[in-house]
Chains A and B, each alone.
Chain A
Amino acid sequence: DVKVTQSSRYLVKRTGEKVFLECVQDMDHENMFWYRQDPGLGLRLIYFSYDVKMKEKGDIPEGYSVSREKKERFSLILESASTNQTSMYLCASSGGRVYEQYFGPGTRLTVT
């Protein structure tokens, strides 16, 4: 079974803090993704990566950056957290069948 793990299930941070969300997958997948899920908006793609050290912007990259130094790990960085970044963050990975993405359990981030 594919396993995608995220470093925290719940996180509370203050406005202006730098926030790191970590994601690890154990299936040697090339592709990794970060989404945020908000009520009434579904899942929106923030960034994705199709190889180590490669990254592409998704639909809503503003205020975020990412890092992929190893194949199994994809980090999402909020350089200066703001209250409008309060959301559920979901990491996913996929292999040869690119569209069949496997998701982690999510991190619910609250920025106060």
Chain B
Amino acid sequence: DQQVKQNSPSLSVQEGRISILNCDYTNSMFDYFLWYKKYPAEGPTFLISISSIKDKNEDGRFTVFLNKSAKHLSLHIVPSQPGDSAVYFCAASGGIGQTGANNLFFGTGTRLTVIP
């Protein structure tokens, strides 16, 4: 059973506009969330993370929002650039000492295409 879900397999956005990628999770024990970016023929690379004690974390053009009550997080990219075109994976973890410690549970990915 998929504990982390990315319901949109693909997203297309014009260059300069905002990209919003969404992720839902079912396990209320998750307390740390991450986004990874994957280019073709490369492994995923860590992009940004957020702890459950926060509701927002920003790093340059990338912002992650967490809504714990809705078990939902989103990644905003502003402004979107053609080089952002990649597959984005959402991931969650249950934290050290809890079930799933050291384990990351990944979503199925969303392919973002930024159109020049």
Contact = CB atoms under 8 A, between A and B. Distances in A.
Q: Do A and B come from one complex?
A: yes
B34 to A, nearest CB: 6
Say which size band chain B's interface belongs to.
20 to 34
B42 A105 contact: yes
Given A99-B104, A101-B104, A43 B42 contact: no
Contacts of A4: 43
A42 B46 contact: no
Nearest to B3: A59
A43 B46 contact: no
**Listed residue (B2, B43, B46) with the most chain A CB atoms within 10 angstroms of its CB:** B43
Nearest to A9: B41
Contacts of B36: 103
Interface in A50-91: 50, 56, 58-59, 90
Contacts of A31: 102
Contact of A103 (B6, B34, B41, B43): B43
A45 interface: yes
A102 B42 CA distance: 11
A11 interface: no
Nearest to B32: A99
Contacts of B53: none
A48 interface: yes
Contact of A101 (B4, B41, B42, B46): B46
B106 interface: yes
28 contacts: A4-B43, A40-B108, A42-B2, A42-B4, A42-B106, A43-B89, A44-B106, A45-B103, A45-B104, A50-B102, A58-B103, A59-B103, A90-B43, A98-B93, A98-B96, A99-B34, A99-B49, A99-B91, A99-B104, A100-B49, A101-B46, A102-B43, A102-B46, A103-B43, A103-B44, A103-B45, A105-B41, A106-B42
Q: Enumerate the 4 nearest inter-chain pairs by beta-carbon distance, A residue then B residue, closest first.
A: A103-B43, A43-B106, A42-B108, A42-B106
Interface of B: 2, 4, 6, 32, 34, 36, 41-46, 49, 89, 91, 93, 96, 102-104, 106-109
